[in-house]
Amino acid sequence: ETRGAARATAGRLLAGVRPEARGEVTLTDFDPDGELKVVAAALYPAATLPDDQLLELARRLSPDERRAVLAAYVGARTNRRQKPGRAFERTAYRFDILGDYGAFRDLQRHRLLTLEWQPLSPRHGWEAPAAVEEAGALGDWARVLTDSAELYDALVAAGLPEVAPYAVAMAYRVRFYMHMNAREAMHVIELRTTPQGHPAYRRICQQMHRLIAEQAGHQAIAAAMCFADHSEVALERLEAERATERRRQRR
């Protein structure tokens, strides 16, 4: 009942407002002083000074000194499972994402963050993997997606708006946001950019990493995510599946 009332209020206030154009991933909120705060938090366990005094001292450090603090705090990571300490929880990032529903479902599995999504529908269009076009199946793909949209519309017209999203194919885009601290961002970005990951969520997380470095200006935090993979790898999942099959056959 409460959710329905909130939906009705939003519908009334936002009626006629069209969404502005955005890229696939937008960094909508971050703390310009976030990296300074992480530096201060990294110094805290080794100091005897109050938190606010450490923050003022961090402001007076040179960029090279700040990078040195974070490099020492993170240490020489040999794999992505070695995470930095709690200091990286001192700052956070909020990303608005318009990606395909399949990628969303994978990213939705992460729990140490806040994730909210908008109603799933065909309104944002769909994505076609390059492999579909290379196989000459784009026409068939488009027909299936059109059928999905028509079924969605029919269900809405029949007075079943709650059921209609189940008719939407996973290639259609959905808008959602992810809000997470830098420690969780490291986990998500490094895990979801591995070469064997799906190209859709790899691309999303690669953009997150670039936005942290370039838009937020948190270059030392981004550099600490040293296992973020920006390589362009062809047929990543196929090779991973072949390796799995080889292991299965050896059993």
Task: Provide the CATH topology of domain 23-120+172-250.
Answer: Gyrase A; domain 2 (3.30.1360)
DSSP β-bridge partners for residue 97: 25, 176
pLDDT score at 210 = 99
pLDDT score at 149 = 98
Domain boundaries, the chain: 23-120+172-250, 122-171
| Residues 6 or more apart whose Cβ sits within 8 Å of residue 209 | 189, 193, 222, 225, 228, 230
pLDDT score at 116 = 98
232: three-class secondary structure by DSSP: coil
**Residue labelled with tokens 């269900």:** 155
pLDDT score at 1 = 74
pLDDT score at 238 = 61
pLDDT score at 237 = 59
**Max Cα–Cα distance, the chain, nearest Å:** 67
Give the angle 61-227-128 at the CA atoms, nearest 5°: 125
CA–CA gap between residue 20 and residue 187 (Å, rounded)? 31
Q: Tokens for 158? A: 């029949």
pLDDT score at 236 = 57
Q: Quote the pTM value.
A: 0.90
DSSP β-bridge partners for residue 98: 175
10-residue mean pLDDT profile of the chain (251 residues): values are 86 92 97 98 98 98 95 96 96 98 97 96 94 92 97 98 97 98 98 95 98 98 97 68 75 73
Half-sphere exposure in the Cβ direction for 214 (13 Å, CA): 8
Q: Are 230 and 193 in contact (CB under 8 A)?
A: yes
DSSP string, 169-208: -TTBEEEEEEEEEHHHHHHHHHHHTSTTS-HHHHHHHHHH
